[in-house]
Every structure is written in structure tokens, then in C-alpha cells.
């Protein structure tokens, strides 16, 4: 595991993808040629890192079909968080990573919810995901205050808490639309 925060290079990411069989047998020069086609070298890096992330997520999804007890399920999550330097004693770091995962998961929902023909369920899912992202950001910031009962420490976060509440409320309202339509139809 890497403990420093030096980003891996396009060539390193490409080599990992090649080793996993995703890019065939591309050479380091071919990876560099790929990166050169973008106006910003960071674009190639983002695209390749996301391809690698997708492969890892697919493997995790396929591995998750095995039944695990709570101890092993949490240990597996712990391995993921250790790999991103997020499993330390800092709850804010852990919640920031989990919030990032929720945000990333909501990106496809953003695309679906923008379609006027998608209906209220994708919009409800997007509202819930955005609300969860908002609330996760509060956990690390307010955990100690909650444990000690220091309600005044929540004051700087009031607007974000209200935003989270409104997003969750919007999710419920969109679910109610569907339930009301079912009731109206006698279903």
C-alpha cells in the first residue's frame, strides 16, 4: 500500500490496466501517446483512473456475492479504507471518503433524473443520495459535539443540516407522488 499522496502516473495506471487485461498489451510509449491526445494531461489520468476504479468495483461487486458475517464484511470494508488511507482514528476522514463514494454513485442518477420522462423515482433517489452526501459531511464535523451533548457546536453547520433535511424531504415527496398515483389508480 502507498502511504504517500503522490499521484500515480498515466503510465503506472496504464500498466495496471494492461496487467489486468483491460488494455491488451499496450507499451508505456502507447500509454504516453494516449495521454498526449488530451489538452490537459490530467484528463487522461482521470479517465484511466476511473477505468481502473470501474474494474476494481466490478471485481468487488462480483466478490460481494459471497455470504459474509458482520466481522468479515466490516474487515473487507476496512481493507478498502486502509487502501485509501481512510481507516484511521479520524471519523471526518472516513466520512469524507464515504461521502465521496455516495457522491460518485449519484452521478448516474443525475443523468437519469434530468430526463423529464424519468419520473419521480429517479429524482427521489437523487435527492436521497444528495441528502446523504450532505449529512455524511456533518458526521465527522459534529461527532464529538454529539457525544458530549455540545449543541452549540452544531451552529456552524445549521445551513448544511437544513440542506440535508430539505433534500431528504424532497425524496419523500417524490416517493409520495408515486404512492398517490398508485392510490388514485386503486392499486
Among 168, 176, 79, 91, residue whose Cα is nearest residue 130: 168
What per-residue confidence (pLDDT) applies to 154? 85
Collapse the DSSP code of 21 into the 3-class scheme (helix H, G, I; strand E, B; otherwise coil) and give the result: coil
Average pLDDT over residues 73-84: 83
The DSSP 8-state label assigned to residue 152 in this structure reads G
Task: Judge contact between 163 and 134, C-beta under 8 A.
Answer: yes
Report how far residue 23's alpha carbon sits from residue 15's, in angstroms, rounded to the nearest whole number. Answer: 9
Task: Judge contact between 59 and 67, C-beta under 8 A.
Answer: no
Collapse the DSSP code of 3 into the 3-class scheme (helix H, G, I; strand E, B; otherwise coil) and give the result: coil
Q: How confident is the model at residue 87 (pLDDT cuts 50, 70, 90)?
A: low
Furthest CA-CA distance within the chain:
64
What per-residue confidence (pLDDT) applies to 1? 45
Q: How confident is the model at residue 86 (pLDDT cuts 50, 70, 90)?
A: low
What per-residue confidence (pLDDT) applies to 164? 92
Question: pLDDT per residue over 161-175, tens digit each?
Answer: 899 999 999 999 999
The DSSP 8-state label assigned to residue 22 in this structure reads S
Q: Provide, for the chain, the percentages of residues in helix, strand and coil under a 3-state DSSP scheme, each rounded to the nearest 5.
A: 75, 0, 25
Q: In Å, how far are 2, 102, 148 from 181, measured between CA atoms?
A: 52, 29, 45
Task: Judge contact between 130 and 181, C-beta under 8 A.
Answer: no
Domain ranges of the chain: 10-66, 89-184
Report how far residue 41's alpha carbon sits from residue 12's, in angstroms, rounded to the nearest whole number. Answer: 14
Amino acid at each position: 500500500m502507498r502511504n504517500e499522496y503522490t499521484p500515480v502516473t498515466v503510465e503506472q495506471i496504464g500498466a495496471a490496466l494492461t496487467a489486468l487485461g483491460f488494455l491488451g498489451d499496450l507499451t508505456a510509449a502507447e500509454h504516453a501517446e494516449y495521454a498526449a491526445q488530451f489538452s490537459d494531461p490530467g484528463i487522461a489520468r482521470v479517465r484511466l483512473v476511473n477505468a481502473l476504479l470501474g474494474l476494481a468495483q466490478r471485481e468487488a461487486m462480483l466478490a460481494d456475492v459471497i455470504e459474509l458475517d458482520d466481522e468479515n464484511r466490516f474487515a473487507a470494508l476496512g481493507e478498502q479504507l486502509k487502501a485509501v488511507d481512510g481507516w484511521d482514528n479520524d471519523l471526518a476522514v472516513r466520512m469524507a471518503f464515504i461521502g465521496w463514494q455516495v457522491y460518485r454513485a449519484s452521478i448516474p442518477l443525475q443523468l437519469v433524473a434530468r430526463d423529464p420522462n424519468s419520473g419521480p423515482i429517479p429524482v427521489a433517489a437523487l435527492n436521497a443520495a444528495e441528502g446523504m452526501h450532505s449529512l455524511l459531511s456533518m458526521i465527522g464535523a459534529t461527532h464529538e459535539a454529539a457525544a458530549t451533548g455540545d449543541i452549540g457546536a452544531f451552529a456552524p453547520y445549521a445551513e448544511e443540516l437544513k440542506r440535508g433535511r430539505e433534500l431528504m424531504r424532497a425524496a419523500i415527496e417524490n416517493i409520495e407522488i408515486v404512492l398517490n398515483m398508485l392510490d388514485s389508480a386503486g392499486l
